Amino acid sequence: WLPSDNMHHQWLLLAACFWVIFMFMVASKFITLTFKDPDVYGVKQEPLMLTAMTKVEKIQVPEEKRLPEESQNKPTGKVISEDLMHQSLVHVKRIELLSNVCRDTALRNLSHTTISKFVLDRIFVCDKHKILFCQTPKVGNTQWKKVLIVLNGAFSSIDEIPENIVHDHEKNGLPRLSSFSDSEIQKRLNLYFKFFIVRDPFERLISAFKDKFVHNPRFEPWYRHEIAPGIIRKYRKNRTETRGLQFEDFVRYLGDPNHRWLDVQFGDHIIHWVTYVELCAPCEIRYSVIGHHETLEDDAPYILKEAGIDHLVSYPTIPPGITVYNKTKVEHYFSGISKRDIRRLYARFEGDFKLFGYREPDFLLN
Ligand SMILES: *[C@@H]1O[C@H](CO)[C@@H](O)[C@H](O)[C@H]1NC(C)=O
Ligand SMILES: *[C@@H]1O[C@H](CO)[C@@H](O)[C@H](O)[C@H]1NC(C)=O
Ligand SMILES: *[C@@H]1O[C@H](CO)[C@@H](O)[C@H](O)[C@H]1NC(C)=O
């Protein structure tokens, strides 16, 4: 073929990849027949599969957001290898996208941060199984913490952990990475399995707003009595409005390029709304897996498997429907907020959208 015939080249590459996958599937059928033990089967697959995966990396495979109906009919038995392969491909693509966006100099200020004490405070350590977990609120973090507390051995099952202990890191046997010396921190960052969970950045902000300023179920009065008045004083446009913090005020605060002086006053409470970049330093720390809340039904078991702990613990049951992205809700919250304020908000969170493959919310911006 002509040297300029790029398409032809790509089709050949694609065909070659399908051939590799096909051969792998034939091989996996053979292995199933040979070793009836499903555990042996699972263990044998992985290295093979990842070899096949690396050959496919160059081809654009759009990451699907699978619907919960699909994940409920989990394929079992013979098709399990295809499911695993799909999962691995999704995660290989996520990490690849992340490292590409990290290298994008135009987004540098939005994707990079320093591994500060603030970041090290967000990361929890399970030494027994060599796991680091970066906490990103509003994506089922309490459940992950419970899983790790059980693994560290302070309690023998998730049900036995008292609610008030989950976030009490003096008593729950789940240390923060910041509590170690510099060399011990470095060692763990280099060697351990590292993960965190993200969700659509705007939906996350809505969730944080509702949880902290509207419902406040854990009775944390400082959100309404200290933080909300602080935001209202500086960002409320309508001076005759007397209701508590409105989502519009919150958006104006978050989108203000000079938000930092208020952040400093709010202390660590800002973890509920600062960017994932600021919380977990995803371009500085080489995370092994990044779970998505929208596909948690698939991602949670995948993370347990990759961390090598799936035989020890399982992720608590996820109530149906709660992980699905709800565009209607997002539109509802942003209706009545000026395009200028929404664009400023997006300008701050663009790094989170791009790094984790969330689509730009053009229905709000244009
Ligand atoms: C990034 O931040 C630095 C310092 O805050 C600033 O000088 C630079 O212009 C910013 N770059 C971009 C692309 O915004
Ligand atoms: C300001 O808030 C008051 C009270 O909620 C409302 O009646 C009024 O319409 C608002 N004004 C504007 C310009 O939005
Ligand atoms: C999406 O959010 C809207 C408004 O909050 C709610 O009425 C609706 O039930 C939600 N849809 C789903 C599928 O959860």
How far does residue 348's CA lie from ligand 2's centre (Å)?
28
Structure tokens at 58: 């160059």
Among the bound ligands, name the one nearest to the CA of residue 110: 1
Structure tokens at 37: 């033990």
Side chain identity, residue 337: I
Examine the pLDDT at 60 and tell me if it is beyond 50: no
pTM: 0.78
Would you say the CB of residue 338 lies under 6 angstroms from ligand 2?
Answer: no
Among the bound ligands, name the one nearest to the CA of residue 67: 3
Query: Residue 165, Cβ neighbours under 10 Å: how many?
Result: 19
For the segment 265-274, what is each residue's pLDDT rounded down to a tens digit?
999 999 999 9
Helix, strand or coil, per DSSP, at residue 259: coil
Query: Could you give the CA distance from residue 229 to residue 119 in angstroms, rounded to a whole number?
Result: 27
Which 8-state DSSP code applies to residue 310?
T
pLDDT at residue 235, rounded to an integer: 94
Which residues touch 208 (CB under 8 Å, ≥6 apart)?
Answer: 137, 138, 272, 273
How far does residue 326's CA lie from ligand 3's centre (Å)?
6
How far does residue 206's CA lie from ligand 2's centre (Å)?
22
Per-residue pLDDT band for 15 (boundaries 50, 70, 90) equals low
Query: Could you give the CA distance from residue 305 to residue 107 in angstroms, rounded to a whole number?
Result: 33
Residue range 267-288: average pLDDT?
A: 96
Angle, helix 339-355 to helix 247-255, in steps of 10 degrees: 60
Sign of CA dihedral 336, 342, 343, 344: positive
For the segment 74-107, what is each residue's pLDDT rounded down to a tens digit?
445 556 678 888 899 999 999 999 999 999 999 9
Examine the pLDDT at 73 and tell me if it is beyond 90: no
Query: Residue 118, Cβ neighbours under 10 Å: how many?
Result: 17
Higher pLDDT, 39 or 243: 243
